Amino acid sequence: MKRAKIAAAVEGKSIKALILEALDEHLQGMEKKGLLPKGKG
């Protein structure tokens, strides 16, 4: 958790925003590999 706080501070974002951004990038990668259906958003 400490590393997440530091990373968020460096990026100038909240921890929630940092995690949601990382999750979105991960899901997009899974979509490209065909592991998930394409999102509508």
Report the pLDDT value the prediction gives residue 24, as an integer from 0 to 100: 96
| Separation of alpha carbons 21 and 36, rounded Å | 18
| Separation of alpha carbons 31 and 15, rounded Å | 24
What are the tokens at 5? 């706080």
Report the pLDDT value the prediction gives residue 30, as an integer from 0 to 100: 95
Average pLDDT of every residue of the chain:
92
Structural domain spans, the chain: 2-32
pLDDT one-digit tens code per residue, 1-41: 899 999 999 999 999 999 999 999 999 999 999 999 886 76
Report the pLDDT value the prediction gives residue 21, as an integer from 0 to 100: 96
